[in-house]
Amino acid sequence: MADEEPADDVELEARLAEQEVFEPPESFVEQANVTDEGIYEEFEGNWPECWESAADLLSWYEDYDQVLDDSNPPFYEWFTDGKLNASYNCVDRHLDERADEVALEWIGEPVDEANRSITYEELHREVNEAAAALRDLGVGEDDVVTMYMPMIPQLPIAMLACARIGAPHSVVFAGFSAEALATRMNAADSEYLLTCDGYYRRGDPLDHLDKTNEGLADVEHDVETVVVDRLGSDGFGHELTDDQHDYDDLLAAHEGATVEPVERDAEDMLFLMYTSGTTGEPKGVKHTTAGYLGWTAWTTKYALDVKPDDTYFCSADIGWITGHSYIVYGPLALGTTSMMYEGTPDYPTRERLWQIIEEYEATQLYTAPTAIRSFMKWGAEYPANHDLSSLRLLATVGEPINPRAWKWYYKHIGGEECPVVDTWWQTETGGHMVTTLPGINDMKPGSAGPPLPGLDVQIVDTHGEEVEAGRAGYLTVQKPWPGMLRTLYNNDQRFIDEYWAEYSETDSDDSDDWVYFPEDGAKIDDDGYITVLGRVDDVINVSGHRLGTMEIESAIVGVEGVAEAAVVGGEHDLKGEAVYAYVILEEGHEGSDEMRARIVEGVEDAIGPIARPEEVVFTPELPKTRSGKIMRRLLEGIANEEELGDTSTLQNPDVVEDIRGKTGDD
Ligand code: WTA
C-alpha cells in the first residue's frame, strides 16, 4: 500500500500519476524492428501496395497477381491467385536455420510438471504425423475440423496439421459448455473433433470428455473424434467408442510420416472462429490464408517487436482470437519461441506468472487489462520478488485500459524500461488495428494510439461525418486491410448487416462507399490518438448526454482502493438513464460511505456531475463470461429489476444473486 512504500517510491508514484505522455525508452528504440516514422506517410501514399510488406513476410509457392481486388465490396480479396501453405510458413521454412530452436515452450499446470520445449524440428515431426493421421481418418481439403482443447501443445499442433492439409479449423474455447460446442459443430457442419480426456485446473483434474460427449449427443451428424490423453492415471476412465480414437495411438501408427503441405489459394479459408456473442446465434468469422497470416506476422513483428531469438509470452488462451493470432500464427510465422501456459496466474501462488517470466527469460508479455487489474489488487510485492529484466515490451488487449492500470503495468512489471502497447482490434480484424508502433510513437496511457500505417480509421457521428477531436463518436475503418474477416460462414447477408450496413451505401460497387463498423465508440485527440470507449451497446444516455460506461469505469478505477468497476445504465424517471456502478475494492479497503463518496467525487472530477453514479454497489466479484468479459447486460438487468434469464454460461453465476441482493437496498 502507498503509505508503506519508501519515500522515493511515493514521489515516483506522484510523478507517474501526473504524466500523460511517455516516450519509448531509448534502449528499446535502439533495437526496435521499426523506427522510421516515415512509414505512415509511405504507406498512405502507396496504398494498397504497401501491404506487399505483409506478403513479403511469407513464403509463396506461386506469387500473387494483385494485392487487392476490390471489385465486389465488401467481399474483398487480397493477394489474389497466390499460392501458399500456413503450416509450411509456420514450421517447415524455419528448419534450415532454426531446427533446434524452441518453437513452442509449453508450461503445464504445476501439478505434474509436464512442461515441454518443442523445437521446430519436433514440431515439424508431430505436425506431419498428426496431418497424416487426420487424413487417414478421412479429413479432406476444406472439411471443417473442430477443436475443443485447453492450453495443451496438441491444440496448436492440430491447428497446424489442419492447415497443412487445407482443412479449416474451428477452435471452441475449452471452458465453453457442451451446448456451445454442439451449436458450433452443427453450424459449421463439422464432422471431425479433437478433444481431450480432461485437464488440470488449480491442481485438480477436470473431466472434459464427459462434457464433450454431452455436446456430441446434440450434434446432428456423425463425428470422428480424436481424444488426447492429458490426465494419464488421473483420468476418469472413459472407454472410447468406435468413432473415438486415441491421439497417441494415431500418431504412433503414423510415426515418421510426412505430408506435403497442400498449396492453398491466398483466399482459401484458414479457419473459422465463432465469436462468443452474448445473444443470438454465434457468428462464424471466416479468415483466409494469406491475408490473415500476413497480417498477424506483420503486426507481431512491428507492434510486438518480435524477433526470431525472442522468448515471447502471450498469456491468452488459444481458444480465443488473441491466442490464434499471437500465440500460434504470428509468432510461428516469424520463427520465434512462443510460450504457452496451461495454468492460472495465481496457482500455486500469486507469483506464478512472474516466476515463469524469470525462469524462461521472457522478452515480451502480452496480457489483458482485467489481468493487470488483478495483479494490482494482489500487490506489487509479487512481481517485485522476481527478476523481470528480460522483458523488453509489454502489451495489452481486450478492453480499454485505464491509465492507473497502465502505469502500474509500466512501473511494476516493465520497470519503466518497456514500452506498453495497447492494441485495439477484434476477432473480425484478424490482428492489431489501432496501436502505437513501440519504436516510433510516444505512449498515452488510456489511449490505444494512432491507427497502424496503411489503415484509414475515422471517428464519425451517426451520419458518418468525422467528429471533432475530443468528441465521442463511432470508430470506423474506411478502407479494407489484409487481415479482415471475409464473411460470416454461410451467411453473407448477416456479414453485410452486422458490419457494413450502418455506414455504407450497400447498393454501390465502388469500394469507397463501403465502411466497416466494429461497433465500438471512440474519440480521437489532436495528435490522432484514438481512445476506445467501448462497445456502443455499452453507451448510456443520461439526460440526453451520451456517456461511455468505460469512461466512468476508468474514473472509478482511478480512485485509490478500487480494483475493478463495471458501470451500466439503469432506467431513471428524470434522467432517462442513470449510472449504476458495481465496484470491487482492493484488499484492505472497505465499502464505507466514505469510499462511496470518494468514488462519486472521482467520477465528477474526471467527467462531470452528469456522470455521477446513482448507486454504488460494492461486490467481491463481477459477473463475467468465460472469456473474462464483464456481462454488463446482466448488471443492467439487475439495475432495472428485470428477469435475468439463463446465467449458467457465466464464469461465476453465483455472484449474480449476491449483487442483486445488494442493489437498491441503501
Ligand atoms: C474490445 C479481442 C479497448 C473492443 C482481440 C472490441 C478493446 C472487442 C481493445 C473485440 C483495446 C479489444 N482497447 N477495447 N486495446 N481490444 N477491445 O473480438 O470493444 O474478443 O470491439 O477480440 O474488444 O473483442 P474480441
Q: Is the pLDDT of residue 349 over 80?
A: yes
Nearest CA to ligand 1 atom 8: 426
pLDDT score for 278: 38
Amino acid 300: pLDDT: 98
Confidence of residue 280 (pLDDT cuts 50, 70, 90): very low
- Distance from C-alpha of 491 to C-alpha of 580, rounded to nearest angstrom: 37
Per-residue pLDDT, 112: 78
Residue 197 Cα to ligand 1 midpoint, Å, equals 32
pLDDT recorded at residue 3: 40
The CA 61 to ligand 1 mean position distance, Å, reads: 34
Whether 532 contacts 475, CB under 8 Å: yes
How distant is the alpha carbon of residue 32 from its chain centre? 23
Q: What pLDDT, on a 0 to 100 scale, did the predictor assign at position 40?
A: 98
- Above 60 in pLDDT, residue 83? yes
211-215, 251-255, 470-474, 536-540, range with the lowest pLDDT: 536-540
Closest CA to 155 of 283, 8, 340: 340
Q: Is the CB of 531 under 6 A from ligand 1?
A: no
Asked if residue 528 lies in contact with residue 444, where contact means CB atoms within 8 angstroms, the answer is: no
Enter the pTM of the model. 0.84
pLDDT in tens, 298-311: 999 999 999 999 99
- 650: which strand partners? 625
* The 457-460 sheet, strands edge to edge: 457-460, 473-477, 520-524, 530-535
> Which pLDDT value is given to residue 563?
92
Classify 457-533 by CATH class.
mainly beta
CATH number for the domain formed by residue range(s) 538-662: 3.30.300.30
Report CA(326)–ligand 1 centroid distance (Å): 14
Pocket test for ligand 1, best of 327, 424, 485, 531 (most atoms within 8 A of CB): 424
Share of the chain above pLDDT 70, in %: 95
Place of cell 524492428: 33
Q: Which residues are paired to 395 by β-bridges? A: 366, 421
C-beta 397 within 6 A of ligand 1 = yes
Question: E strands, 557-661, where?
Answer: 562-572, 576-585, 613-618
* Residue with CA at minimum distance from ligand 1 atom 14: 399
Residue ranges per structural domain of the chain: 86-96+118-262, 457-533, 538-662
Compute, in angstroms, the gap from residue 400 CA to the centroid of ligand 1.
8
Specify the pLDDT at position 5. Answer: 47
Question: Which pLDDT band holds residue 373 (cuts at 50, 70, 90)?
Answer: confident
Phi and psi at residue 443, in whole multiples of 5°?
A: -110, 140
448 lines ligand 1 (CB under 6 A): yes
Contacts of 295 (CB under 8 A, 6+ apart): 54, 430, 431, 481, 482, 483
| 399 Cα: distance to centroid of ligand 1 (angstroms) | 5
pLDDT grade for 537, boundaries at 50, 70 and 90? low
Residue 156 confidence (pLDDT) above 70: yes
Tell me: pLDDT of 374 over 90: no
Please answer whether residues 110 and 347 qualify as being in contact, where contact means their C-beta atoms are separated by less than 8 angstroms: yes
Report the alpha-carbon distance of residue 70 to residue 291 in Å, rounded: 14
pLDDT at residue number 57: 98
CATH architecture of 86-96+118-262: 3-Layer(aba) Sandwich (3.40)
Measured from the CB, is residue 398 less than 6 Å from ligand 1?
yes
In degrees and rounded to multiples of 5, residue 217 shows phi and psi of: -60, -25
- The DSSP call for residue 296 is H
Summarize pLDDT for 505-522 with one digit per residue, the tens: 999 999 999 999 998 889
pLDDT tens digit sequence for 12-57: 778 888 889 999 999 999 999 999 999 999 999 999 999 999 999 9
Which of 423, 532, 535 to mutate to test ligand 1, by most ligand atoms within 8 A of the CB atom? 532
User: Is the C-beta atom of 453 inside 6 A of ligand 1?
Assistant: no
What confidence category does residue 369 fall into, taking pLDDT thresholds of 50, 70 and 90?
confident
Smallest CA separation from ligand 1 atom 13, residue: 400
Q: Whose CA is nearest to atom 11 of ligand 1?
A: 424
CB-ligand 1 contact for 382 (6 Å cutoff) = no
Please give the pLDDT value at position 638: 85
- Tens-digit pLDDT profile for residues 563-597: 999 998 887 766 667 899 999 999 999 999 999 99
Mutation pick for ligand 1 pocket among 370, 396, 426 (CB with most ligand atoms within 8 Å): 426
Residue 351 CB less than 6 A away from ligand 1: no
Spatial CA neighbour of 476 closest among 80, 77, 79, 74: 74
The pLDDT tens digits for 90-124 are 999 999 999 999 999 999 998 877 899 999 999 99
Q: At what angle do helices 632-639 and 654-662 cross, to 10 degrees?
A: 40
Which of 295, 321, 399, 517 best tests ligand 1's pocket when mutated (most atoms within 8 Å of CB)? 399
Q: Is the CB of 520 under 6 A from ligand 1?
A: yes
- 636 versus 414: the higher-pLDDT residue is 414
Q: Which residues contact 570 (CB under 8 A, 6 or more apart)?
A: 577, 578, 579, 580, 614, 615, 636, 639, 640
User: Roughly how many angstroms between the first and final C-alpha of the chain, as a whole number?
Assistant: 29
Most confident of 251-255, 529-533, 558-562: 251-255
Residue 604 has pLDDT above 70, yes or no: yes
Alpha carbon distance 254, 248 (integer Å): 10
Q: Is the CB of 424 under 6 A from ligand 1?
A: yes
